Amino acid sequence: MNVNAVKKVVIAGGGTAGWMAAASLAKLLGKTLDITLIESDQIGTVGVGEATIPTLLTLHRLLHINEQEFMAATNATFKLGIGFENWANKEDSYIHSFGYTGKDCWAAGFQHFWVKGKQMGIASEFGDYCPELIAAKQNKFAHLNKQSLNYAYHLDASLYAKFLQTMAFEHGAKRIEGKISRVNLNEVTGYIDSLTLDSGNTIAGDLFIDCTGFRALLIEQALHTGFDDWSHWLPANSAIAVQTTKADAPKPYTRAIAHDAGWQWQIPLQTRMGNGIVYCDRFVSDTEAKRTLLENLPGDPITDPRVIKFTTGQRRKHWNKNCVAIGLSSGFIEPLESTSIHLIQRGIVRLMQLFPQAGIQQTDVDEFNRQTQEEVDNIRDFIILHYNATERTDSAFWRHCKNLEIPDTLRHRMELFRETGRVFKSGNELFGENSWTQVMMGQGILPKAYHPIVDVMSNDELSQFLNQIKYNVDRTVQQLPSHQDFLEHYCKTH
């Protein structure tokens, strides 16, 4: 192990991952560290990754980011969840919202009460008991005084990187433009000593953060860390991205529309839309996928469609020697539940929690890798659920997904839910019971039974309980302005 104090941090790569790392480290630990970010204008960034989840607000609070300033700077809109269309069956749709559905009791989640209510014919749709979901459906949003909605953002990825860059500079981070041509390893320890640029300039460091995207220049090309390929569970391996004009007022949710061999995203920003299609090129050619995307755009293209190839999976170690991989260099699950930016943020916070100021200790490295692995495995299962729990048999792709051998952890959760309505969050898992329930029900997995505690309520009490929740949801949503009106007011008053 290298027990030299860590003073000089070098971040390789200036996409969302690199600038999030630079801004966070500079703002929170900058007084004790020398931080340099190297990025290559010639290589550029992946340029997608515009939908987030609510955990981003936690990072923004930590960094004291003013929401109105951030939204104005990044063309951002509010996001209350993701609308899934054609996933369980063609023509079916559901929303996985960030909100809480109904009310739980100590023994049983709301779905148990709802299942009995449905059997009795006194419950309406499951989503009717969630304010965020109904607000999303009605295209409404506002910050409420008493009961705040749980939300995230859609943002322009390149503007967000610029916004973070300004913040990183304010707190002392330095930027070097140039292409890294060599990673110099120490002959004795195998640690990274320095990076040499095309210009011949060599940048030395104590700790290196690999944010070079899919290239994984440090963690893989130099350190040969290894990669667990998850294509057998998550077969999508290609995407085509294109920006368009906006067709109508921005919706407060991301659309994920399933097609014959993958799915299409629509991410509404204030003045344009982010669009793309994710697919498996074993089931559809790039040309055909591009045609499907272009035939289903909400506005006129303003960029050329760009093909992006990827392999789903994870680096075997996210921290190896004196190199921590953050962002696409650490792995990629696929953008279905917008989890990549979240994982970037978790990687940064985890690194700060285990920061090796006094020198790199293997125990810290192992703990970092253990926590990351557990977090990513759970997210992987959640994403596979969307594909595997389909009833679609109308194309080779969906038949393949439906018949996949899935991880035992996921099979267990699905069976438990189907048989008993029970679902439990595992450890510090990102997606809680509420998310699992919404997606399992949305995908057509309905519990066969409910918890016996529900029968403690009389039928009248159950009816009142359900009605009261629905009444509160409707009343909350009624007060909300349209998302568009709120955005105009909120971003103008900044």
Active site residues per annotation: 79
Q: Which residues, including other chains, have CB under 8 Å from residue 254's CB and lie 6 or more apart?
A: 51, 79, 81, 82, 83, 154, 265, 266, 267, 338
30 is in an annotated binding site: no
Residue 43 as a binder of ligand FAD (CB under 6 A): the answer is yes
DSSP per-residue codes, 387-411: HHS----SSHHHHHHHT----HHHH
Contact status, residue 197 vs residue 203, Cβ threshold 8 Å: yes
What is the C-alpha radius of gyration for the chain, rounded to an integer number of angstroms? 23
Distance in angstroms (rounded) separating the CA atoms of residues 433 and 103: 12
Q: Does the protein bind ligand FAD through residue 215 (CB under 6 A)?
A: yes
Q: Give the contact letters, 240-279, x = binds to ligand FAD (CB under 6 A), - = no.
A: -x----------------------------------x---
Residue 239 interacts with ligand FAD (CB under 6 A)?
A: yes
| Nearest one of 211, 199, 186 to 10, comparing CA atoms | 211
Number of residues counted as binding ligand FAD (CB under 6 A): 39
The packing angle between helices 340-353 and 55-62, to 10°, is 40
Segment contacting ligand FAD by CB under 6 A, of 60-68, 213-221, 400-408, 433-441 = 213-221
Which of 83, 109, 213, 252 forms a contact with ligand FAD (CB under 6 A)?
213
The CB-of-433 to ligand FAD minimum distance in angstroms stands at 22
Shortest Å, Cβ 218 to ligand FAD: 10
Q: Which is nearer to ligand FAD, 15 or 250 (CB)?
A: 15
Please give the residues from 295 up to 314 whose contact with ligand FAD meets the rule CB under 6 A.
308, 310
8-state DSSP, 59: H
54 binds ligand FAD (CB under 6 A): no
Q: Of 430, 427, 404, which is closest to residue 56 (Cα–Cα)?
A: 430
Interface positions, 316-355, toward ligand FAD (CB under 6 A): 327-329, 335, 338, 340-341, 344
Q: Is there a binding annotation on residue 79?
A: yes
The binder of ligand FAD chosen from 32, 44, 119, 303 (CB under 6 A) = 44
Contact residues toward ligand FAD (CB under 6 A) are: 13-18, 38-40, 43-46, 48-52, 157, 179-180, 211-213, 215, 217, 239, 241, 276, 308, 310, 327-329, 335, 338, 340-341, 344
